[in-house]
Structure 1
């Protein structure tokens, strides 16, 4: 996550207002009736009534397409959604507002694919024509809910990265841990992460204050300019995730996210940053995440962190397997004094980590920290071991990812 660029966004409101329908809502309601099947159907603006997108059409996002509060967008299995080019204020994205629902339930045989208009994939197909190096063609998918977040604002709410502050559809956070933003199953998000302002890219999937009434499972992020998935607080549980080709962090947790991420595969590439970036609360709210059954392939690339813990991160990471570790910079890093305190106080916990160690390295060599307080390194080393490749007993069940584009390219 590249933090925080909200001051920039205020300037964008003026430039956006010329296409608006009101002073606080700079995009107009969406188009009228759906054309006949078999067409590329362009979507733009705010969807004001329930819609169903069907697999015999390709849907094209032109700018920010917003599912309005109280509205449900249903996407059939096998549907392809493409997004038009556009930088900064013209970036295309699908945004699910607080109180709206996205019901996008694909299947292993018929995943729902979000990609770029520059991808020549056709209706009924699953493999894209673009490459991992083609990240940043469009924005991404943003889901906003009413579950608790930890931010400095006394309201307990925030405006999501990538959307100008003050708009009707950028707010997230609240008090409903069980909030329901819909269901996402067998979703592949590809070539996303365009900048919506200088140095402010959108994640492949952004989850802001999303509650545990929401179902998210079997998700692929392929080639995103920023993070694969970022969790801004919330309580949503996510299962079966593949991230490949991200140019920042694989999975990024912030603002006291307190759900569970179960069974994930993160494959680092040359432009990646940390596989895991875990931040603590930004306000008085507290929360404790759980990561379990995670496999991280560092791809023997120097300078990339396995995990970076910051700002008093609190949670548990259990059954983690890491392989292809480079001797330079592939570390588990406790980044600041606040996080040393949570580590030493057993609020940040490592459980059953296994590493395929580079020659001459020990588990202790993989741990680094910053701060004046001495970290209790045994909190890490006592729960971590070296193993031979192929003999690990923890990590992800990668067989469930056979449906992904990543697997079709034999990248794992």
Structure 2
């Protein structure tokens, strides 16, 4: 009998606990007025979602939302915008990225769009939140599209596990205009690095213009295949390459300026002004990298030595016109050198012999240090103007003068 009574007592207690648990489930968290408060779940599915938090911005964006200019935003993790959704960033927005390395980045996935239309008066800035910011504090901005690549029908990015590539060369990933990225390029390992802007299989209907990358721990801007055009791009103090492409990029570049400033001596094993690849495993893979770049300045002031100022290899083709390459010391110091001015050779395959480069060499550059790999249309001559720096006035950057550098024919 005592055992039976004890059983009923435990049974009653279990019913009570179950009832309490059920009551808790049916009584959500409320505010002081008794209104139910939605809890964070790392998913942003409306403008009012608590995960769209200016002090803690991260998560998967599943609805059209706007990052507004009426407050400062803190990016604390990965912000991933999914297929069918547009992320709008208003002019004048400042986003500070928590110094979280490879865990903090923004990505516009295939089928998603970004609408980041800053203005010259109110650019959009994404920078480090660190008290003493440094290169590599956060990842960077990735766009992934459905345009062709030559490493397969589709591929997966070396960071962030993003799918890119396809058969729609006119794919549209949105608009970026008047945007500055700073202290990007967090690294997972020697071959897995974020860049400033990275365009993976991005299509030609995407509009990219008036962009600046400053203090990147890897490359300033890199293209992996795709057909996207980029106009007015400024790269200041990238630790590795300033402009880098691979996997079949066939878009156009207009008005590119890259500089390594005096005093910026952070460096990788082989820093370059341009590093151009098509496909290392199959140099003839289609589509072959073949961009056209008109208006280019590559200016090296630092005391470190560059591997090459222009390196085109592994099957890549390119047409570069109105280019200026300069090595010129600042503050009466001796500038570093470059192993090669132009190099089209590589152990994994030379650059295309159809490559065409028209360039002016200034200052300490050795205009004879050219490995042409059979390309016959490389012209070094005086008179080129390079990039038009006036269009970058909105950045506030002060460009060094090239007037005192002597040209080399």
TM-score bracket relative to the smaller structure:
0.7 to 0.9
Provide Cα deviations, 1:100-154, integer angstroms capped at 9, x if missing partner. 00000001110000011226xxxxxxxxxx66xx111111000000011110x3x
Map residues 332-351 of structure 1 onto 2, 5 A cutoff: 332-336=342-346, 340=350, 342-343=352-353, 346=354, 348-350=355-357
Deviation string, structure 1 residues 66-101 (Cα, Å, up to 9, x no partner):
01110000111000111112234xx20000000000
The offset of 1:403, in angstroms, is: 1.2
Pair 1:308-2:311 in alignment:
yes
Counterpart secondary structure, 2:210:
strand
Determine the C-alpha separation between the residues in 2 that align with 1:357 and 1:368: 20
SS at match of 1:406: coil
Deviation of 1:331 after TM superposition, in Å, equals: 2.0
Q: If you compute each CA radius of gyration, which structure gives the higher value, 1 or 2?
A: 2
Q: What is the distance in 2 between the residues matched to 1:285 and 1:378?
A: 23
SS at match of 1:277: strand
CA distance in 2 between partners of 1:77 and 1:341 (Å): 41
Q: Is the 8 A contact 2:46 2:65 kept in 1?
A: no
2:125 counterpart residue number:
113
- Identify the match of residue 59 of structure 1 among 59, 73, 80: 73
More deviation, 218-227/293-302: 293-302
SS class of match (1:401): helix
- The match for 1:216 among 188, 203, 208 is 208
Question: Per-residue deviation at 1:378?
Answer: 4.6
TM-superposed deviation, 1:335: 2.7
Deviations 1:13-68 (A, max 9, x none): xxxxxxxxxxxxxx9423765489xx834221100100011111122222111011
Tell me the number of residue pairs that the alignment of Structure 1 and Structure 2 aligns: 341
- Seen in structure 2, the aligned counterparts of structure 1 residues 113 and 331 have a Cα distance that, compared at 3 Å, is same
How do 1:352-367 residues align onto structure 2 when only pairs under 5 Å count? 352-358=358-364, 361=366, 363=367, 365-367=368-370
> Would the alpha carbon gap of residues 341 and 35 (structure 1) be closer, same or farther in structure 2, given more than 3 Å must change?
closer
Shift of 1:195: 1.7
Alignment of 1:228-247 (within 5 A): 228-247=220-239
Partner of 1:15: none
**CA drift at 1:317:** 1.1
3-state SS of paired residue (1:402): helix
Q: Quote how far apart the aligned CAs of 1:163 are.
A: 1.6
Partner of 1:135: 135
The aligned residue for residue 294 of structure 1 is: 296
Report how far residue 338 of structure 1 moved: 6.9
Distance 1:75 1:328, change over 3 A: closer
**CA separation of 1:328 and 1:246: change in aligned 2, threshold 3 A:** closer
Aligned equivalent of 1:331, options 320, 324, 341 = 341
CA distance in 1, matches of 2:215, 2:351: 35
Distance 1:47 1:411, change over 3 A: farther
- 1:194 is displaced (CA, Å) by 1.2
Deviation of 1:328 (Å) = 4.9
Match of 2:169 among 146, 168, 177: 177
Root-mean-square deviation (Å): 2.4
Match of 1:75 among 69, 89, 94: 89
Mark the runs of 5 or more structure 2 residues left unpaired by the alignment: 1-40, 329-335, 402-409
Please give the alpha-carbon distance, in whole angstroms, between the structure 2 residues aligned to 1:233 and 1:289: 10
Partner of 2:146: 146
Q: Determine the C-alpha separation between the residues in 1 that align with 2:124 and 2:216.
A: 17
Measured at CA, do residues 393 and 308 of structure 1 come closer, stay the same or move farther in structure 2, by a change above 3 Å? closer
Instruction: State the TM-score, normalizing by the size of structure 1.
Output: 0.77
Deviations 1:227-266 (A, max 9, x none): 0000000000000010001111000010010000110110
Residue 266 (structure 2) aligned to one of 265, 271, 283: 271
Q: Where does the alignment leave 5 or more consecutive residues of structure 1 unmatched? A: 1-26, 120-129, 165-169, 370-374
Per the alignment, do residues 49 and 376 of structure 1 end up closer, same or farther by CA in structure 2, a change over 3 Å counting? same
State the TM-score, normalizing by the size of structure 2. 0.77
Q: Is the 8 A contact 1:77 1:107 kept in 2?
A: yes
8 Å Cα contact 2:47/2:65 also seen in 1: no
Question: C-alpha separation between the residues in 2 aligned to 1:237 and 1:72?
Answer: 20
2 CA distance for matches of 1:213 and 1:81? 26
Q: Does 1:280 align with 2:278?
A: yes
Structure 2: distance between partners of 1:258 and 1:393: 24
Measure the CA separation in 2 of the matches of 1:216 and 1:210: 10
**C-alpha separation between the residues in 1 aligned to 2:194 and 2:400?**
24
